[in-house]
Amino acid sequence: MSRWFISLQVRYLLFFMLPLFLINCSGGSDSSIPQPGPTNNGGGGSSGIPSFTLEPMVAASATQMAFAPGDQLFYTDGKGGNVWVIDTAGGAWQRRPQPFYHTEVGQLGEQGISGVAIDPDYAANKFVYIYFTTPQYSRLVRVTDTNGRSSNEQILIDGILAANVHNGGVLLFGADGKLYVTTGDATQQHVAQDPVSLNGKILRINADGSVPSDNPFPGSRTWLYGVRNSFGLTVHPATNDLWFTDNGPTVDDEVNLAVKGSNYGWPETTGKGDTRFIDPAFVLAQPVGITNIVAVQATPVYPSQYHNNLFFTDFVEGKIRRLVLDASLKTVVSDSVALDIQHAAGALIAFKQGPDGYMYVSGSSSSGSSIYRVALNPNAPQ
């Protein structure tokens, strides 16, 4: 019991310390980049040595991020209420001095600016999508990138219930060109099962905010429901399946394969085994606070055994875990720890595969915040 209690205490302490990290670390020079520690301990590969390590790219406190055409990386900074752009050309990453976008956001718990997504047709229309949480509500907006600054802000979804925690806010375009949006239960658990509520869902909308004609519930933005507090969305590059994560209350952090119109159980159940609901594809018994997930597209920068795997990051342990899928790419057959640098990078939060094939992750700790490249560990057999 005592070990479990300590684990929960650490989790909540970290959640409430996050705003400090996000406030303190949005600027700074390279000297503030925390250097990852030794990489030859922990881990779950067959050798016992984690397969990956981190290489710092730029000092930045990123909650979510999205790569864009023109060697650009957009990211949100949580409590700062800003979207920033990093120029990534040539591998020398530099953040522009002025934010792309700013809005007033809540300063409690997990409030702030969270999601950012780039329109699939950005090169032509310059649309950028942003999700943020105030003390009163969460909101999805679309802005136009006009020479590096936002303009023409339009509200696409308003009136999403907000709370100190469980506000969701992950944005991702599917292979179908629709925008998927995670919303949390805003600490009102029953809303996740309420078909009228926008909360506790994954929503699916057209790029103009309208409801797609092939959504499962006519006239509703709901794509699936029974979600507690999802911080992770990814589209599998080989199947176009949507995967999402959900975080349990004291147990059962989940990785789920998204099925249109389905019920994922919250608050009736978490984890596997309740036949009334869709089982998660993978469950972690201990609450690590999953922060994001990436289905890795085949790339020459990683050996082939990592292609089409799922990787996910966490807030509490600062690890990246790896899930290997079966031939159908719909079932998890094994899991391991792919990165364990003993929390040297702090909480791992924003997580994406870049256009160069590498995964990139943001880390926040008391010694600074950075975005890192996830590189192969030279000390580990691959």
**Which residues of this chain interact with Ca ion, rule CB under 5 A?**
264-265
CB closer to Ca ion out of 173 and 312? 312
CB closer to Ca ion out of 243 and 264? 264
Residue 30 CB, nearest approach to Ca ion (Å): 41
- Two tokens, residue 237: 């590059």
Residue 265 CB, nearest approach to Ca ion (Å): 4
- Those residues whose C-beta lies under 8 Å from the C-beta of residue 23, and which sit 6 or more positions away, are 79, 80
Q: What are phi and psi of 90, to 5 degrees?
A: 75, 5
CB closer to Ca ion out of 93 and 244? 244
3-state secondary structure of 241: coil
User: What's the 3-state SS for 275-287?
Assistant: CCCCCCCEEECCC
Within 10 A of 35 (CB to CB), how many other CB atoms are there?
12
State the Cα torsion 67-150-110-347 to the nearest 10°: 30
Q: What are phi and psi of 215, to 5 degrees?
A: -65, 155
Torsional sign, CA 194, 172, 168, 114: negative
CB closer to Ca ion out of 131 and 264? 264
Residue 292 CB, nearest approach to Ca ion (Å): 17
CB closer to Ca ion out of 226 and 318? 226
Residue 266 CB, nearest approach to Ca ion (Å): 6
- Two tokens, residue 235: 């589209």
- In DSSP terms, which residues pair with 144 in a beta bridge? 127, 151
Positions of E strands within 165-252: 171-173, 179-183, 201-205, 222-225, 232-235, 242-246
Q: Which amino acid would we find at residue 345?
A: A
- Those residues whose C-beta lies under 8 Å from the C-beta of residue 343, and which sit 6 or more positions away, are 317, 318, 365
3-state secondary structure of 133: strand
CB closer to Ca ion out of 127 and 266? 266
Residue 269 CB, nearest approach to Ca ion (Å): 7
**For residue 375, with 0-12 CB atoms within 10 Å meaning exposed, 13-18 middle and 19 or more buried, which class applies?**
middle
Q: Which amino acid would we find at residue 272?
A: K
CB closer to Ca ion out of 61 and 222? 222
Residue 263 CB, nearest approach to Ca ion (Å): 9
Residue 220 CB, nearest approach to Ca ion (Å): 20
CB closer to Ca ion out of 237 and 265? 265
Residue 42 CB, nearest approach to Ca ion (Å): 28
Residue 320 CB, nearest approach to Ca ion (Å): 22
CB closer to Ca ion out of 84 and 264? 264
d(CA 308, CA 295): 6
